[in-house]
Structure 1
Amino acid sequence: MNKNQDSLLYPCPCCGYLVLFEPPPGTYLTCPICFWEDTKDLCNAALRTAQRSFLECGACDPRWNHQVRRPTIEDQRITDWVPLDVLAERDRPLLIAQITQAFEGVSREDGVTLHEARVIDDWGGEEERAAARGLDTDTHWQEVPPQWIEQLWDAYSLLDSKGWRYYLPAYMVHALRCSGSTSAGDSVIYSCLLPEEPELREHGLSRFSVLTLEQSRAVCQFLRFNAAYGEADEAAARRALEAYWGEFCP
């Protein structure tokens, strides 16, 4: 078999050049052009970092500059190769618009607020909870201050169903706008995981059921975005999609 024919070669996930003799991922072959090792468990966050390095210095990691070679005229690259960073920036505004439209008009009603959730976590009483609720004066999720999302990221898991639905778009949009500097995306993803324990599973399904079909689709796309681009916990995002959310955006 003539392995030099482009039709018999597969693209390196990092640089896009047709240099692999087997289809990725999981070949454990090393690209001679960028020195990316094609492992089985592909981490898209690491791949994005490697692509940035390749575009800047010609290797997936500056440490391997002496191990790589520059592409020759014989080296062919797949015609539709685009770095993950470019794809993420293409999809980001579209996803923000989808989330904003899906959750337009959603109110907190009498649901648990962010500051109240922190008090609940600290085993505070009714008086403390009431005082904490008074701090959350926003009436639309777009009004939730970004600093509260940053400071109270851990309180998100303690919200009731109404509070979870209300703050969900605020956390998702903040995660998309502040990629790389916030844990809001992780908070959303972990809240979308479906527990295996029967009682906890029923509680999770009950919480998820408060969303409309359009809202569930927006959540699904947010999880797909993170699974594809690794801006939050991509492994957890994939588990959430497989367990429940994937059916909303097949």
Structure 2
Amino acid sequence: MRRTTQAEIDDMRARGFDAETIRQAEFSEKRTAVADSLCDKVAEAFANVKLGDGVGLFEGQAIDNYETAEVRQQMRKKDEKEVWSQIESKHLNACHSSLSFFDSLGMRFHLPAFIVADLKGDYGMGMEFTLTHLDDYNRKKFGLLSPQQRQVVREYLQFLRQDPDSEFYYDDIDRALNEYWKELE
């Protein structure tokens, strides 16, 4: 993703660009520094998390496609199980529906990869829905997150709350921040 410089933003103002375009450019300009910092926090909070027996990325796609147990096992062999940061963004994009099929182990392992890819501008689907539409079934998927991991997710949602591209989800993000992802006391 290309970063918009302050000089370019000043030029946009001088040339009479509309306020919304300037707001988006300003967010883009500060997004990079905040995103980099959040990526570091994600890496620290989720360091050494392994998949274990959890549902993997390709396995989740097999579940979504109603594949047989045999095909599901074949797909699982393709899954990264040890280092979430080695999962390629192209696979996250291709297997985005796996988010709906992860168990709590699979979610804890894959969530940081999705968040970092999104922060870097490499994930095209967005994480707002996954992190804000939390019925009892979906809440269980986040049940293994440590307080530090939950705090990183909270900071990521606060970041999305400032992103003009997430404007459609602002109410959902606010609700999720005040209910499920509230600060730990």
Both proteins in one fold, TM over 0.5: yes
Residue pair 1:53, 1:60 contacting (<8 A) in 2 also: no
Structure 2 SS opposite 1:246: coil
For residues 158-177 of structure 1, what are the structure 2 equivalents within 5 Å? Answer: 158-177=101-120
Using the aligned pairs only, state the percent identity. Answer: 23
* 1:202 matched residue in structure 2: 136
Q: Take 1:174 and 1:105, find their aligned partners in 2: how far apart are those partners?
A: 18
Residue range with higher mean Cα deviation, 217-226 or 139-148: 139-148
Structure 2 SS opposite 1:247: coil
Shift in Å at residue 160 of structure 1? Answer: 0.9
Q: Which has the larger radius of gyration?
A: 1
The answer to whether residue 69 in structure 2 is matched with residue 126 in structure 1 is: yes
Tell me the amino acid that sits aligned with residue 117 of structure 2.
H
Tell me the amino acid that sits aligned with residue 218 of structure 1.
V
Give the gaps of 5 or more residues in structure 1.
1-50, 62-81, 196-200
Q: Take 1:109 and 1:56, find their aligned partners in 2: how far apart are those partners?
A: 55
Q: Take 1:170 and 1:129, find their aligned partners in 2: how far apart are those partners?
A: 22
Of the three residues 111, 124, 134, the one matched with 1:182 is 124
| CA pair 147-127 structure 1, distance change in 2 beyond 3 A | same
Of the three residues 223, 230, 250, the one matched with 2:164 is 230
Shift in Å at residue 243 of structure 1? Answer: 2.7
Structure 2 SS opposite 1:127: helix
The number of residue pairs the alignment matches comes to 171
> What is the CA deviation profile of residues 39-83 of structure 1, one whole-angstrom value per residue up to 9, with x for unaligned ones?
xxxxxxxxxxxx78943732317xxxxxxxxxxxxxxxxxxxx93
* 1:198 matched residue in structure 2: none
Shift in Å at residue 119 of structure 1? Answer: 1.1
* 1:217 matched residue in structure 2: 151
Tell me the amino acid that sits aligned with residue 181 of structure 2.
W
Shift in Å at residue 244 of structure 1? Answer: 1.3
Residue pair 2:53, 2:105 contacting (<8 A) in 1 also: yes
Question: RCO greater where, 1 or 2, for CA within 8 Å and sep 6 or more?
Answer: 2
TM-score (norm 1): 0.61
Alpha-carbon RMSD across the aligned residues, in angstroms, is 2.6
